[in-house]
Structure 1
């Protein structure tokens, strides 16, 4: 890999896409020392104006090509709609390769996997796939402590009970052809965590999913959204372990948005993560504090550890501070201090599991990987 790292001075970022998540990236980059957003490409006028408020020193450019033509950028962050990630990565590769943080999912369709493989073979700079959930404080602690707490994980369960898909520019997240489908768009995070926890690759996927409640009364250019809002997914891994995902996107009244449970021969460990603090009703008092609970089999007795997140980080985004912690590590990579923690291979596997789950649910069968 070519060394194009920035060893000293301010790191200057170019941002491709500044909708809701792009603006979260802007706010978190602003919290980093010696980091600055220098240029932004965002075609939507409303989002462009909001981005200028978040990063007043950045230049707004008219095209991705204009952004890539600048010679003063040190790193790129891709936060565009899902189906644009692959062509934009290829465009960057054909221009001036720089370290990239690309939002999940890495790609959205099976035929994109080969394009990503070709990109990975030739791209000379580091690429980090943005899997923020790894860096939520209780989830990070869960990942660190799970082996010791369980004696070796045998079963992993992830539950997400949350709010429906929010409105995005052009309503792209309402349709499978743009998002990859719910089990790719939303759930690639959890499939990434499964591989990371279980230290193995999947061999088969079985899923049941559908659209039960959300978006059924919406219409865009005469078309009703086809995005799913609930699912069960079971994944078997090569090392004999198994994992399950339970997703419900009409359960925003829950105390916890994400719950992770790992069990093994000596005990159980659980992580409990609340949703975005801006959605917590003020009349209920303070929002819940993330927790980690370990429950050994002998001696019995659960132990609870709290993981409060700094107010400034909660205000900067909807992911319990994880976007900031991810950016801290990515900045180290840009400065030549190590490589990406979430690789193109990791991002690719997360999408493959999601696509297999989509296929399993649609066809009513087990899908082998």
Structure 2
């Protein structure tokens, strides 16, 4: 195999186009084929990659040669059937957007699939430079983490083709669609597995006046999730999807026996008002217990990477690593099992919020 990786993109809507822009910045990689049924999104994709071939089905796309790797960025509910078709026809190295599945029956399918090539689940938040730096400093600053808090105060769900993200049946629910990123971070930072999940959430502000062919959106727009872990640590998620006026979109903190560390991450630069001047820059605050010396450091991100997507450069760094996997020089960092465990936590949070009871992970 040559050093160049030829990509095929399955689903080139908003997130698929972010993958395309970041792959374009990566040396030794090119998107050569794509599948996108929506005419508007297909036209936008063709403007980004005019030399790529558009196909009308996965079967047609998989016949394209040369093709070295695939990215699935289609609506959530399509991920599992698309993985199944790829496994049957031409199982290439695969990056699949989160969430990797949306319902328990799909989990059973994935568990028994036995995909013979690498699968990387796209958990971009791991690779945001400020969050990656934060994770690398946790042990030195805080020691073994006792408490992890993740706050996301952000904008409402954006409009997607067909409005699929307005409904639990297609998205898996807000705690699956949006928050599996954060459950993945919990497992990674705490180096532990959840034992019990408690959630309180509702739909209070967003999408209340929307109606799609007689159906009203049923997704949550705010809530809390508390998770107990098998090493005695605990984590909390605080989500509001009507807080886009915030300076920072994500704020994480870890407290341990040595002290506390925080990271503050701004949202997409394209949403920052021009009249407020330059958008904010991510920062990390370290607060050791003794001697008491709080310290703040700024974590800048390459402006070219900020312009290429909404994830603080994470999509580019993720593809850097995935390319090494495709070339056979590295192992997958976010496995199918990682992606499935994060979704399982999200489904437990959805269940807890609906039923008003704590959900033991042994029961899911």
Q: Does TM, scored on the shorter chain, surpass 0.5?
A: yes
Partner of 2:222: 230
Partner of 1:79: 73
* 2:3 and 2:327 in contact (8 A); partners too: no
Partner of 1:299: 291
Of residues 22, 33, 41 in structure 1, which corresponds to 2:27?
A: 33
1:1-369 superposed matches below 5 A: 6=1, 8-119=2-113, 122-369=114-361
Output one character per residue of 1:257-302: Cα deviation in whole Å (capped at 9) or x when no partner.
Answer: 0000000011000011000000001111110001111100001121
Task: Supply the distance in 1 between the matched residues of 2:73 and 2:143 (Cα, whole angstroms).
Answer: 39
* 2:72 and 2:94 in contact (8 A); partners too: yes
Stretches of structure 2 that go unaligned for 5 or more consecutive residues are: none
Aligned-pair Cα RMSD in Å? 0.7
- Report SS of the residue matched to 1:94: helix
* 2:226 and 2:235 in contact (8 A); partners too: yes
Q: Cα distance, 1:70 vs. partner?
A: 2.0
Task: Supply the distance in 2 between the matched residues of 1:331 and 1:353 (Cα, whole angstroms).
Answer: 29
Output one character per residue of 1:197-249: Cα deviation in whole Å (capped at 9) or x when no partner.
Answer: 01011000000011000000011111110011001000000111000000000
Task: Supply the distance in 2 between the matched residues of 1:231 and 1:259 (Cα, whole angstroms).
Answer: 16
Task: Supply the distance in 2 between the matched residues of 1:111 and 1:96 (Cα, whole angstroms).
Answer: 24
Stretches of structure 1 that go unaligned for 5 or more consecutive residues are: 1-5
Output one character per residue of 1:65-95: Cα deviation in whole Å (capped at 9) or x when no partner.
Answer: 1111223100000000000000000000001
Q: TM-score, normalization: structure 1? A: 0.97
Aligned length: 361
Where do 4+ consecutive residues of structure 1 move more than 6 Å?
none
